[in-house]
Structure 1
Amino acid sequence: MNKMPATSFTGWLSKVPEVTLSFWIIKIMSTTVGETGADFLAVNAGFGQGVTRTVMAALLAAALFTQLRTRRFTPWLYWLTVVLVSVVGTEITDLLTDGLGVSLYISTSAFAVALSAIFFVWYRVERTLSIHDIVTRSRERFYWAAILCTFALGTAAGDLATEALGLGFTWGAVAFGALIGVTYAAWRMGGNAVLTFWIAYVLTRPFGATLGDLLTQAKTYGGVGMGAMWTSALFLSVIIMLVAVAQIGINASRSAQRAD
């Protein structure tokens, strides 16, 4: 792997969290909040798709701008950006499917091609796709472009499985959960860490989305009937708690370093 000049890394620290169990819990819950939150704002709160899409896109732009301007990992800002990416990713897919009538087969394929193109260019430029090496602004831009595309792809793939292919919410969640389990097993048996990470990252989106639909939809439609508001509030509360713990830990660690 080609090494970049040392000056390229001056003053930079990785702004991506460690991949732990907490990381995956927050990631999955973020995907669910993106699905249920978008539905709640557009339908239950009565803002409509157009207003919701515009406001969420503006908030994402502001959060992403701030995230790119920082020079160290800030848990609350990073995960706020992920949640907003999740909402916007859902809105993009809904716009294509419901607003423009694009087939889920086409949108899923198109997002898969777009993600592959991002990874191809990213690797050609940086010679690595590892999230542990997000230590330059260029790599971080590639990273967030890939993240947005994975959320849009995951939403489309989830809808394709549950609606077009007829799996339904329960079996859709089981199927994607099983695929995540297979990916984890492949990693444990020595599979490529970067490849298995990105496969799991893509799969957690449709898993979280189908889980959100399962919890929010009425029982007559095969759901649990919790509703978008309560599901969003519950999952968002857990996210806030876990992120707060991470933020407190980061702050304590940095305070100790300054004291030394």
Structure 2
Amino acid sequence: MTTELTVRRPSSRAGEMLNKVPEITIWFWVIKILCTTVGESFADWINMTLGVGLTKTALIFTVVLAAVLYVQMRLRRYVPSIYWLTVVVVSITGTLYTDILTDSQGVPLKVSTTVFAVLLAVVFGVWYARERTLSIHSITSTPREAFYWLAILVTFALGTAAGDWTLELSGWGPGKAVLLPAALIAMVVVAWRFGGQPVLAFWLAYILTRPLGANIGDWFATPRSEQGLGLGTALTSVIFLVAIGATVLYLTWSKADVIPGSEALETAVRGAGPGRERLALGLYAAAAIATGLLLHHTSQIPHASPLAAEEAGGSASNNIQLTPAQAIAHFPSADVASLKTIVDDTLTKVNAGDQSGGTARIKDLETTWDDDESKLKPLDGNAWTFLDGRIDDALTALRASNPDPATEKQALTVLSTSLGG
């Protein structure tokens, strides 16, 4: 999306740098989607699989973001490895900020989506008022770069909230959920090619790649029993990080995305004329209305939200009541024994007053249960849901900010009994 009227002039003014961002080629969008996928899967892996917790994970990546932004903004030109590392970290951090609002603070997704949309409008408004351009082909000063990265952070948070809200309204699975953002991105490309305003098209596509990449990541990580590819968050993160690394190495070698010359760009960005731009705006409005109607229609159809089911965890299993014999009847005895050993070890540590040891041991339970999901759930979905709730109750008790030994013992005892004794 680079249809711009460009006038080049020497970059000689004090404080002005070579353009700090890449040329917008197909490689830009490929890596952007890869980074977005990593933002979803890597954050989930650290937060849930490793058991670090949402707040601690967000704090860690806020510090990492500050560090990589410092390095990026000290540079005087575009360096692919540093630039895309910054995008990856911004992707993860923006995702975590939205997740904190939703999961920890209980802010409804429609509210967080609205808040981030307003915040992005404010960022763009202040940026344009000061610099008279929102084109990424003009990131040639520290203030412009600061506005650019702030806008990127908010777009990731907005894309996360809007994408999750879409899933909440529609109840779509991970594969089907890829189609809506992909279709909207295709519409933006058509509007741009038709002569729509390039800067507007760029930022719309940039926002939409967030839910697209997140849904792709969920599709890869979700168990096969739930129409996913069953790769898990760790393997999904590794695959896409390797893909990002390989692409960045290629771009570093080929310089295919470097804006040429030692010249800064002064851009007056426009499309193919006012008439074409108005038609493109009409297409955007029609797509927005159609999307709204589609989501309204799907929200009226009874469904279980994938996000609600994931967040409800143990509470969703309260409607299922099974005896211990029924709960493990269809599962391999070796897998059940492995789970029970971990639970009993954790209970022993809690009884001995070893809170840190119990918290550490319960991570093994979470990891083992997640790894076994694709095998156990197809054998008996009700039993899996029943035990999943008991396991979530135990995890919640052990990881409480102020753990209560009595609650921990009760949750672990119930779980141990459910596993056969």
Q: Which structure has the greater CA radius of gyration?
A: 2
CA distance in 2: counterparts of 1:175 and 1:241, whole angstroms: 28
Give the whole-Å Cα distance in 2 for the aligned partners of 1:118 and 1:222: 39
More helix as a share of residues:
1
- 1:149-160 aligned at under 5 Å gives the runs 149-160=154-165
Question: Quick check: 1:28–1:205 contact (8 Å CA) kept in 2?
Answer: yes
TM superposition score normalised by structure 1: 0.91
Structure 1 residue ranges (4+ consecutive) displaced by more than 4 angstroms after TM superposition: 6-11
Cα distance in 2 for residues equivalent to 1:10 and 1:230 = 43
Report what 1:92 is aligned to.
97
CA RMSD of aligned residues (A): 2.0
Is 1:83 aligned to 2:60, yes or no? no
Distance 1:225 1:11, change over 3 A: same
Q: Does 1:73 align with 2:67?
A: no
Q: Which of 162, 168, 173 lines up with 1:163 in the alignment?
A: 168
Residue 313 of structure 2: aligned partner: none
2:246 equivalent in structure 1: 241
Q: Which residue of 2 aligns with 1:24?
A: 29
1:38 to 35, 39, 43: 43
Contact 2:116-2:154 at 8 Å conserved across structures: yes
1:191 aligns with 2:191: no
**Aligned pairs for 1:1-260 within 5 A:** 8=13, 11-250=16-255
* Secondary structure of 1:47 counterpart: coil
Q: Is the 8 A contact 2:174 2:222 kept in 1?
A: no
- For CA contacts below 8 A with separation 6 or more, give which structure has more relative contact order: 1
- Using the TM superposition, give the Cα deviation of residue 214 of structure 1 relative to its aligned residue in structure 2, in angstroms: 1.5
Describe the superposition over 1:104-156 as per-residue Cα deviations: whole angstroms up to 9, x where unpaired. 00000110110011111111111100000111111101100000000000001
- Cα 1:54/1:66, change in 2 over 3 Å: same
- Give a deviation string over 1:175-229, Cα, whole Å, max 9, x none: 0000000001111111111110000000000110111112112234342211101
CA contact (8 A) 2:178 2:215 kept: yes
Check conservation: 2:224, 2:230, Cα contact below 8 A.
yes
Q: 1:37 to 1:25 in 2, by over 3 A?
A: same
Q: 1:36 to 1:232 in 2, by over 3 A?
A: same
In structure 2, the CA distance between the partners of 1:9 and 1:180, relative to structure 1 (3 Å rule), is farther
Q: Which amino acid aligns with 1:205?
A: R
- How far off is 1:249 after superposition? 3.0
Paired with 2:195 and 2:222, the residues of 1 have a C-alpha distance of: 39
Across the two proteins, how many residue pairs are aligned to each other? 250
Q: Which stretches in structure 1 are left out of the alignment for 5+ residues?
A: none
